[in-house]
């Protein structure tokens, strides 16, 4: 399978509640494919009534699920892993069709989600509780208690991977999970839910409610939802965090990004050329870890030429995917126009690129490089979310770090250099939370956790890894004494 497949038949897209697809009761809305520019599915917005139905079913199912042992719950996740791998090509096609990713990117996202699933599977052997004798014959231990019904609101750009950051961990810990996928990419969700049901997940433990802002807000407000995970843009992440926190709920909201790469003239030409080009063009720049600003320190002209040549050689539809909507493609074009007006030089121009012959109706924008971008301009400071690299020329590493440090965001930062001490300087002085050395997309692999800081994250802890366990559960401390004899110890 080399091309994204769509046979033209409008796909079904409904809520998933208690193990069955059901129609929501709100307004109808359409889903468009970035590859075809046409409607691929029609669905309906979930109302307060639909959410109440989803929560009620989750609440009932969670009681028995929480009583099962972690080992027992993990058996379902083992089967889920097997089914996902069996279905990976079909799910990848769906991810690509609705989000615009290439098939290879869609598949890589599912495999990264499976890594988190494997982390969740390891908990049965690793999360031992740490029991110890704290006084003579008095023992303290940790036990995890699930929160009950939890919810996750996810963005368009990773319809499978981002939800897979949280589904396996939240379920393994004994919660029921309500999922509101992006209103732009809701199709993959239903397929994942079906895989979980086939794996043996009892009905009601994973429910899906479709819709946009209003559905998300109703979900946050529902009194029986104990915790909310969110991934999306910064303004929405902040609003979701505030709304949920005001209601006394646990909220972790990951936001947008503007990631910097510091490039030093001693960097390996091929390694930096590939790393930086692939970082800003991968997923057509629509990922929170994409390189966005290149801080070129000193004479990096040869490196920039290598980056440009690699980006220019990419074939749309095969090496680089489509833009999520016609509106966003138009926004990217206007952002380049504006950057030019502010003094930037367009050295690679993707504004008027031709659509690939296989996908003539889709939303396309080619790799674009802006050089000599003023550091205070919009192209250097705001998240544009497209295959667009803004190069800011810097005299030295201190100037580059000062620009990086001023950013409101704090997701990722990388440095390309042959010098260990200079790389270490960047690691110590950068403000970002995920840092790469000679790596363009410094996504931590399991068991290392994922999460930014500053305006890229609202709430504490990370969305995967060890701290996510504390997010999706309460840590209960049990102190036990069985010795009946009276003595002088402090806990007698």
Q: How far is the CB of 127 from ligand NAD (least distance, A)?
A: 24
Which CB, 99 or 368, lies closer to ligand NAD? 99
Q: How far is the CB of 158 from ligand NAD (least distance, A)?
A: 6
CB closest to ligand NAD, residue no: 232
* Strand pairing category for 138-146 and 132-135: antiparallel
* Distance in angstroms (rounded) separating the CA atoms of residues 9 and 1: 19
Which CB, 175 or 234, lies closer to ligand NAD? 234
Task: Kindly state the tokens that stand for 138.
Answer: 């008095």
Rg of the chain in Å (alpha carbons): 24
Q: 101-135 burial string, b = 16+ CB within 10 Å, else e?
A: bbbebbbbbbbbbbbbbebbbebbeebeeeeeeee
* Distance in angstroms (rounded) separating the CA atoms of residues 166 and 144: 17
Catalytic residue, candidates 13, 195, 283, 288: 288
Q: How far is the CB of 110 from ligand NAD (least distance, A)?
A: 15
Q: How far is the CB of 1 from ligand NAD (least distance, A)?
A: 25
Q: How far is the CB of 171 from ligand NAD (least distance, A)?
A: 20
Based on the residue annotation, tell me whether 453 is a catalytic residue of this protein: no
Least Cα distance to 337 among 307, 308, 286, 378 occurs for 378
Q: How far is the CB of 212 from ligand NAD (least distance, A)?
A: 4
Q: What is the 3-class SS of 22-53, one letter each residue?
A: ECCCCCEEEEECCCCCCEEEEEECCCHHHHHH
Q: φ, ψ for residue 440 (rounded to 5)?
A: -80, -25
Q: Give me the residues that bind ligand NAD (CB under 6 A), please.
A: 153-158, 162, 180, 182-183, 212-213, 216-217, 231-233, 236, 239-240, 254-257, 288, 383, 385, 411, 452, 456
Which CB, 161 or 264, lies closer to ligand NAD? 161
Helix (H) or strand (E) holding 262: strand 259-263
Which CB, 65 or 119, lies closer to ligand NAD? 119
Distance between the two ends of the chain, CA-based, in angstroms? 69
Within 8 A by CB and 6+ apart from 373, the residues are 293, 339, 342, 343, 344, 379, 380, 390, 391, 392
Which CB, 153 or 379, lies closer to ligand NAD? 153
Q: Please identify every residue annotated as catalytic.
A: 288
């Amino acid at each position: 399978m080399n091309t994204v497949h769509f046979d033209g038949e409008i796909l079904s897209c409904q809520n998933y509640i208690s193990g069955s697809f059901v129609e929501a009761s709100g307004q109808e809305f359409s889903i468009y494919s970035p590859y075809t520019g046409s409607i691929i599915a029609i669905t309906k917005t979930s109302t307060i009534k639909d959410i109440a139905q989803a929560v009620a079913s989750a609440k009932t199912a969670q009681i028995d699920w929480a009583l099962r042992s972690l080992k027992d719950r993990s058996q379902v996740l083992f089967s889920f892993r097997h089914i996902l791998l069996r279905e990976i090509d079909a799910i990848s096609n769906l991810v690509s069709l609705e989000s615009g990713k290439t098939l290879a990117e869609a598949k890589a996202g599912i495999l990264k989600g499976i890594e988190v699933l494997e982390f969740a599977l390891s908990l049965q052997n690793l999360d031992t509780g740490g029991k110890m004798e704290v006084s003579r014959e008095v023992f303290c231990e940790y036990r995890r208690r699930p929160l009950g019904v939890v919810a996750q609101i996810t963005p368009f750009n990773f319809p499978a991977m981002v939800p897979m950051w949280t589904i396996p961990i939240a379920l393994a810990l004994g919660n029921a999970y309500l999922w509101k996928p992006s209103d732009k990419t809701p199709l993959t969700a239903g397929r994942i839910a079906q895989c979980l049901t086939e794996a043996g997940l009892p009905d009601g433990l994973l429910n899906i409610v479709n819709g946009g802002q209003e559905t998300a807000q109703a979900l946050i407000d529902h009194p029986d939802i104990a915790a909310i995970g969110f991934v999306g843009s910064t303004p929405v992440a902040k609003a979701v965090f505030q709304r949920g926190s005001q209601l006394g709920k646990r909220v972790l909201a990951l936001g947008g990004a503007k990631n910097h790469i510091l490039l030093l003239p001693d960097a390996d030409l091929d390694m930096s050329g590939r790393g930086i080009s692939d970082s800003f063009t991968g997923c057509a720049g629509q990922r929170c870890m994409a390189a966005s600003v290149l801080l070129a320190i000193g004479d990096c002209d040869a490196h920039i030429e290598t980056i440009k040549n690699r980006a220019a050689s990419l074939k749309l539809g095969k090496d680089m995917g489509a833009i999520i909507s016609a509106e966003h493609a138009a926004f990217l074009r206007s952002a380049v126009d504006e950057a030019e007006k502010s003094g930037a030089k367009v050295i690679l121009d993707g504004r008027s690129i031709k659509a690939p012959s296989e996908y003539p109706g889709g939303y396309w924008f080619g790799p674009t490089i802006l050089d000599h971008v003023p550091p205070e301009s919009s192209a250097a400071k705001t998240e544009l979310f497209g295959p667009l690299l803004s190069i800011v020329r810097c005299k030295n590493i201190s100037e580059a770090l000062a620009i990086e440090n001023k950013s409101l965001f704090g997701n990722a930062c990388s440095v390309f250099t042959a010098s260990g001490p200079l790389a270490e300087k960047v690691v110590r002085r950068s403000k970002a939370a995920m840092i790469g050395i000679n790596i363009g997309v410094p996504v931590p692999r399991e068991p290392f956790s994922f999460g930014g800081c500053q305006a890229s994250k609202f709430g504490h802890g990370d969305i995967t890894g060890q701290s996510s366990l504390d997010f999706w559960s309460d840590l209960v401390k049990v102190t036990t004494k069985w010795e009946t004899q009276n003595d002088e110890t402090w806990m007698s």
